[in-house]
Structure 1
Amino acid sequence: MNVNRRTLLRATAAGGITAAGMGIGTNPAAAIELDCALSREFFHGDGAFTTRDVTVESFDGTALAATLYVPDADGPHPAVLTTHGWGMSREFLRCTAGMYADNGYVVLAYDSRGYGGSGGEVGVNGPNEVADVSALIDWLADHDDVIADGDDPSLGMDGGSYGGGIQLLAATRDDRIDAIVPRIAWNDFVTAITPNGAIKSGWLTLLVGFGSASSRFTGDIGESIDSNLQDWYAEAMAENAIPEAALEYFQERSPTRSLESLETPTLVISGWKDTLFPPSEAVANYREIDDLGVESRLVIYGGGHNIDELAVTDEQHEYMNRAALDWMDRHVRGAETDVVPPVSLWDDQASRWRTFDDFPGTVERTVVGLEGLGGTTSTIRHRPFWNETASYEIESDGFRLRGTPALSVSIEAHDAPLLCFASLHHAEDPFSTEQIDDQVTGFRLEEPGTHRLDLELEPLLREIPRGDALELRIEASDPFYLDEHGSATVHNDESTLTLPIADGSL
């Protein structure tokens, strides 16, 4: 099939983040094509390429379904390997694959093991999925249209969510990958899905249910997806705690366990409003890779696994995808191409990108005692039809937050286990309060008694204008978690909130 597309990239490489991440897509394939058709002319490559479906045999004989995109211009060409988000298929990669093919790359977009047309069992980016990547790289190295030195092709990877995680894992095990662009991926799966021991039960339910049902559209757990997932899910929901075996399983699938061996230039892309793999996961990836001395970049935009992904502007998509293309041109094609600054942060309030040499840049970490905001103690409570929230309001003379706030809290649990949640809110007036980026930091109090916790909240970029207020809330319920009934006392006189102040003062 001959294709001529000069405007392809409204969608991000996650390909179906919105549909997969929130389970709201009604006609995903049509939607992604419409998304491409509505794109402005962000990129101008040769504009012509040919696609054909192929099957690649993996290391264990498993058949992996893929679509090959080959530029019509004379080759050989550098290559990009890309895969999709959890529960999706390569159909959701048309825009991303088209962007690279339109700019002179051979693209192999494949269905991850157990999904779409690929055989095998879904192993949540386990050893088999990592080995699949190496088999696909072998296949590309043997393809006449791909630049290769023996079995080593000129190759990068791009993808989001589940397709972002596999890049970080594969790049630590196969040094033939020249560059990666993991979008809205995780650093530590355990930390992401059970922050401080509090299970994101809403997300867990969606992931297990959607991932199982969409695996070759059968939902036949045990034949198409690791059967342990259903058992662990049932136990987690019954106990409101992740089983130990599941923790070990997901730790193995956490890039942080193996990033010390990474040598691949990495462009990390995340979303401020991502509530599944929040920006703290991306910041951790960026910092760990940067500390290795490996060239890396961090880009945070205004979406992620959240309904707000639907409202991400063309300006943001253009910046991210231009950054991805430049990254590939520099590290895969070998061109002398400028790339984005070390850190690029989307400022939603100002509708513009802000760039820095590091994260969070120059800030003053200001410590605020909770006693001065809420008295000596505060009560939090969650009972049927009766909730109490501890609230602390900081009136603003005009300041900007940039970076990661921290909460040091002394809290006495009267009932246990008890799940608690800390969140920051922007109050413009008594009738208009916004939970910043929809983010909340959960923590579990396992035993009765007094607990001393030092928590990092989610990174943010937010201006609190003069006359507005910043509010910290600590409560014992959240709609996306399984709550435990009970109460606790916050010892405000022993608790502090540390804020990264970039401009202004408290």
Structure 2
Amino acid sequence: MTSEAAQQPITLYPQLDEAALRAFVAALRSGDTSGLAPARAAEVDQARSLLTFTPVKVPGAADPATGEPALLDAALWRHTGPDPRPVVVMPSPWTDLGWLSYAVQATAFAAKGYNVLAYSARGFGLSGGEVEVAGPLDVEDGTRALDFLIERTPSGVTAAGFLGDSYGSGISQLVAAHDTRVDAVVAMSTWGDLGEAFYENTTRHVASVTALLNAARNARLSQETAAVFADVLNNRNIEATLAWAARRSPLTYADELRERQVPVYFAHAWHETLFPVNQTLRMFEALTGPKRLDLSIGDHSCPEMSGIIGLPNRIWSNAHRWLDQHLRGEDTGIGSEGQILSQVMWNKTLEDRPTWTAVTTRRQRVYLTGGAAGGSLADKPETGWTIEALTGIDTPATVADAIITTGYDEIAGRPKTYPADGISRDVAAVWTGAPQDAVLRLRGIPRLRLSCAAATPRATFVAYLLDVAPDGTGHIVTHAPFTRLQGDPESPYAAEVELQATAYDVPAGHRLMLVADTVDPFYGGANLPRGTLRFGSSDEDPAFLELPLG
């Protein structure tokens, strides 16, 4: 397989219909709804009867080059009555459409009584400034946007919230950590640790960085941003990049959110390729105030995208319930529900759990064994074996066919099919379990530990956990990359890997298959071509896969 398997989109939000959104906004301004679908026309009519809609320019943080405030392209939904009311600020996703992405949902919030300001992040669309990737200037922009909205709510503000999807979600968390006026946050398809999103287990996420660059092809990147992205793609200045990312990571400022007990609602996808779910889970677990995490089938922003354009959507419904609960003081019931709501692959069952730790009720170890034709997943440890994999050649085991679009296929019930028998044992290590006697309910984070050795100090492998049907076709359950950046050549070392969290039902009669290969177009590897990785299990430290069950 080639890098075509990870082909990059030119937009991260292919379901957004720019023409339809612009027609909606034009109707908000003019009142002419003749070109809208009946549901959208009714929303416009209701909004115009209650409030005024105005495109505005918000003075943001000063441009470092000119010293003048960067003017942020924005839109204001404003009530003019005498009653104090809650307000919501919505920083845009990573798209040229900017605030336009939120036009339908911002109108829905405004119709319920909120004053709303949606703005395009600096460097995108018609906003001034340069893209800083949620840097200090973006945080200041968020604070100034809140200032702008409060000043235009002369009747008084009862509470203030931030809501964002993707890029806007990270900015929303960071503003809430720095601005004590923020009372609640909604963060969809977000990140907690940006460094881990770029370097997972010290493995570069080259496909996600390329996707971000392609999606921002019309944006104005700051010199620092362009340099950091180039460093990731060219495998240099790792420590400087991680320091840059730490300043842009909500996890760095979790203490501030904990101190004020800021309520935060998260929504995420199990097969997220831009911001893998485990780093968001760590952010979620670091908070001690009111919190909620919706986990869904799909990839980045896919689960919530139908809602952003106004269609019925569980995640956006819960976002409304969250802000109504914490900003309007309504008892929406969401406060008494569990912290975790997870959608199970592939039956789509929704499971409510009180906490993340309650998702996993017990853990089961299966042990990796050796064999000339491949290994197995067994009940008892086996040591002294070695399985070799030739480096530099890809296999049918890969993360996905493409960022974003594979996630939409999953939501539609068409998950990628893997030819399990077509994975060459010459270029991958493969361990297969026995057919399941009953449904195996995987819930949580699988953990892998095994011995690995290479002829070079640097080495990479990617571990995939597959569900294989009796006909030999497989579906991916979860995966994770692993890279050793330095070590003694030929000396075995223990590789410990947390695979990405999952909620997956393996049907009776199906088998688990663990694959470790040396190439995936989603990642930048450290292997030399035509080398060899040797996987094994020592007497002192038997190799195992720990399965989270629930």
TM-score band by shorter chain is 0.7 to 0.9
- Check whether the contact 2:206–2:524 (CA below 8 A) recurs between aligned residues: yes
- How many angstroms apart in 1 are the aligned matches of 2:43 and 2:126? 32
Residue 138 of structure 1: SS of its match in structure 2?
Answer: helix
Residue 218 of structure 1 is matched in structure 2 by none
Residue 368 of structure 1: SS of its match in structure 2?
Answer: strand
2:148 alignment partner, one of 115, 125, 139: 139
Residue 46 of structure 2 is matched in structure 1 by 47
2:112 alignment partner, one of 87, 91, 103: 103
**Residues 289-329 of structure 1, C-alpha deviations (whole Å, 9 max, x = no match):** 1xxx3111111122232778879999996321221111111
Residue 357 of structure 1 is matched in structure 2 by 354
Residue 120 of structure 1: SS of its match in structure 2?
Answer: coil
- How many angstroms apart in 1 are the aligned matches of 2:156 and 2:247? 33
- Check whether the contact 1:80–1:156 (CA below 8 A) recurs between aligned residues: yes
Asked whether 1:214 is paired with 2:218, we answer yes
* Residues 410 and 38 (structure 1), Cα distance of their counterparts in 2 relative to 1, 3 Å cut: farther
- How many angstroms apart in 2 are the aligned matches of 1:454 and 1:417? 16
Question: Residue 162 of structure 1: CA displacement?
Answer: 0.8
- How many angstroms apart in 2 are the aligned matches of 1:70 and 1:194? 42
- How many angstroms apart in 2 are the aligned matches of 1:66 and 1:476? 46
* Residues 109 and 249 (structure 1), Cα distance of their counterparts in 2 relative to 1, 3 Å cut: same
- Check whether the contact 2:445–2:498 (CA below 8 A) recurs between aligned residues: yes
Q: Which has the larger radius of gyration?
A: 2
Asked whether 1:397 is paired with 2:399, we answer no
- How many angstroms apart in 2 are the aligned matches of 1:313 and 1:77? 23
- Check whether the contact 2:87–2:161 (CA below 8 A) recurs between aligned residues: yes
- Check whether the contact 1:68–1:109 (CA below 8 A) recurs between aligned residues: yes
Residue 30 of structure 1 is matched in structure 2 by 19
Q: Tell me the amino acid that sits aligned with residue 397 of structure 1.
A: D
Q: Tell me the amino acid that sits aligned with residue 301 of structure 1.
A: S
Residue 280 of structure 1 is matched in structure 2 by 278
Residue 258 of structure 1: SS of its match in structure 2?
Answer: helix
Asked whether 1:445 is paired with 2:460, we answer no
2:293 alignment partner, one of 293, 298, 301: 298
* Residues 468 and 68 (structure 1), Cα distance of their counterparts in 2 relative to 1, 3 Å cut: same
Matches within 5 A, 1:171-186: 171-186=176-191
Q: Which moved more, 1:66-75 or 1:455-464?
A: 66-75
Q: Tell me the amino acid that sits aligned with residue 448 of structure 2.
A: L
1:265 alignment partner, one of 263, 266, 273: 263
Q: Which moved more, 1:166-175 or 1:338-347?
A: 338-347
- How many angstroms apart in 1 are the aligned matches of 2:318 and 2:233? 41
* Residues 343 and 315 (structure 1), Cα distance of their counterparts in 2 relative to 1, 3 Å cut: farther
Q: TM-score scaled to structure 1, two decimals?
A: 0.83
- Check whether the contact 2:169–2:186 (CA below 8 A) recurs between aligned residues: yes
- How many angstroms apart in 1 are the aligned matches of 2:164 and 2:38? 19
- Check whether the contact 1:106–1:146 (CA below 8 A) recurs between aligned residues: no
- How many angstroms apart in 2 are the aligned matches of 1:300 and 1:172? 23
Residue 127 of structure 2 is matched in structure 1 by 118
* Residues 210 and 64 (structure 1), Cα distance of their counterparts in 2 relative to 1, 3 Å cut: same
- How many angstroms apart in 1 are the aligned matches of 2:109 and 2:485? 49
- Check whether the contact 2:341–2:350 (CA below 8 A) recurs between aligned residues: yes
Question: Residue 241 of structure 1: CA displacement?
Answer: 4.8
Asked whether 1:63 is paired with 2:71, we answer yes
What is the total number of aligned residue pairs between the two structures? 464
Residue 85 of structure 2 is matched in structure 1 by 77
* Residues 321 and 357 (structure 1), Cα distance of their counterparts in 2 relative to 1, 3 Å cut: same
Residue 139 of structure 2: SS of its match in structure 1?
Answer: helix
- How many angstroms apart in 2 are the aligned matches of 1:473 and 1:415? 22
- Check whether the contact 1:341–1:355 (CA below 8 A) recurs between aligned residues: yes
**Residues 395-446 of structure 1, C-alpha deviations (whole Å, 9 max, x = no match):** 312220001111112111223422210111111124310112xx43111122
Question: Residue 178 of structure 1: CA displacement?
Answer: 0.7
Residue 332 of structure 1 is matched in structure 2 by 327
* Residues 78 and 31 (structure 1), Cα distance of their counterparts in 2 relative to 1, 3 Å cut: same
Question: Residue 31 of structure 1: CA displacement?
Answer: 5.8
Residue 15 of structure 1 is matched in structure 2 by none
- Check whether the contact 1:344–1:354 (CA below 8 A) recurs between aligned residues: yes
- Check whether the contact 1:425–1:435 (CA below 8 A) recurs between aligned residues: yes
- How many angstroms apart in 1 are the aligned matches of 2:338 and 2:437? 31
Matches within 5 A, 1:184-195: 184-195=189-200
Asked whether 1:253 is paired with 2:248, we answer yes
Q: TM-score scaled to structure 2, two decimals?
A: 0.77
- How many angstroms apart in 1 are the aligned matches of 2:309 and 2:433? 35
Residue 532 of structure 2 is matched in structure 1 by 487
Residue 86 of structure 1: SS of its match in structure 2?
Answer: coil
- Check whether the contact 1:405–1:500 (CA below 8 A) recurs between aligned residues: yes
Q: Which moved more, 1:444-453 or 1:163-172?
A: 444-453
* Residues 202 and 194 (structure 1), Cα distance of their counterparts in 2 relative to 1, 3 Å cut: same
Asked whether 1:407 is paired with 2:448, we answer yes
Q: Tell me the amino acid that sits aligned with residue 500 of structure 1.
A: P
- Check whether the contact 1:380–1:388 (CA below 8 A) recurs between aligned residues: yes
- How many angstroms apart in 1 are the aligned matches of 2:185 and 2:322? 8
Matches within 5 A, 1:459-470: 459-470=501-512
Question: Residue 265 of structure 1: CA displacement?
Answer: 0.6
Q: Tell me the amino acid that sits aligned with residue 244 of structure 1.
A: E
Question: Residue 75 of structure 1: CA displacement?
Answer: 4.4
- How many angstroms apart in 1 are the aligned matches of 2:138 and 2:449? 40
* Residues 350 and 383 (structure 1), Cα distance of their counterparts in 2 relative to 1, 3 Å cut: closer
**For structure 2, which runs of at least 5 residues remain unmatched after alignment?**
1-7, 26-35, 63-68, 377-381, 395-423
**Residues 43-101 of structure 1, C-alpha deviations (whole Å, 9 max, x = no match):** 99993243210112124322122101235877443111101222331111112212212
Residue 244 of structure 1: SS of its match in structure 2?
Answer: helix
Residue 10 of structure 1 is matched in structure 2 by none
- How many angstroms apart in 1 are the aligned matches of 2:10 and 2:481? 20
Q: Tell me the amino acid that sits aligned with residue 273 of structure 2.
A: T
- How many angstroms apart in 2 are the aligned matches of 1:301 and 1:39? 30
Q: Tell me the amino acid that sits aligned with residue 277 of structure 1.
A: F
